[in-house]
Amino acid sequence: MSDSEDEVPDKQLKIVIIGDGASGKTSLATRYAQEQFGKQYKQTIGVDFFLRRIVLPGNVHVALQVWDIGGQTLGGAMLENYIYGCHGAVLVYDITNHNSFDNLDDWFGSIKKVLGKERMPHLALVGNKIDLEHMRTVKVEKHQKFAQERSMSSHFVSAKTGDSVSICFQKVAAEILGIKLTKPDVDQHHRVVKAEIVNYTKQEESAARHIPQTTTKTSICSLQ
Ligand SMILES: Nc1nc2c(ncn2[C@@H]2O[C@H](COP(=O)(O)OP(=O)(O)OP(=O)(O)O)[C@@H](O)[C@H]2O)c(=O)[nH]1
Ligand SMILES: [Mg+2]
Beta bridge partners of 179: none
Q: What does the pLDDT read at residue 105?
A: 97
Q: What does the pLDDT read at residue 224?
A: 35
The counts of H helices and E strands in the chain are 8, 8
Top mutation candidate among 39, 41, 73, 156 for ligand 1, by most atoms within 8 Å of CB:
41
Q: Tell whether ligand 1 has an atom less than 6 A from the beta carbon of residue 161.
A: no
Q: What does the pLDDT read at residue 217?
A: 38
Using DSSP's 3-state secondary structure scheme, residue 107 falls into helix
Q: What does the pLDDT read at residue 202?
A: 61
Q: What are the respective helix, strand and coil percentages of the chain, to the nearest 5?
A: 35, 20, 45
| Range 102-105 contact pairs with CB under 8 angstroms and sequence separation of 24 or more | 103/19, 103/20, 103/74, 104/19, 104/146
How far apart are the CA of 132 and the centre of ligand 1, in A? 12
Going by C-beta distance under 8 Å and a sequence separation of 6 or more, which residues neighbour residue 113?
80
Q: Considering only CA atoms, which residue is closest to atom 29 of ligand 1?
A: 39
Apex CA 126: angle with CA 78 and CA 17, to 5°? 25
Give the number of other CB atoms < 10 A from CB of residue 166.
Answer: 19
How far apart are the CA of 68 and the centre of ligand 2, in A? 7
* Ion ligand 2: residues, CB < 5 A: 25-26, 44
pLDDT, one tens digit for every residue, the chain (224 residues):
444 455 667 899 999 999 999 999 999 999 999 999 999 999 999 999 999 999 999 999 999 999 999 999 999 999 999 999 999 999 999 999 999 999 999 999 999 988 877 788 999 999 999 999 999 999 999 999 999 999 999 999 999 999 999 999 999 999 999 999 988 888 877 655 555 666 666 666 555 555 444 333 333 433 33
How far apart are the CA of 41 and the centre of ligand 1, in A? 6
Q: Tell whether ligand 1 has an atom less than 6 A from the beta carbon of residue 127.
A: no
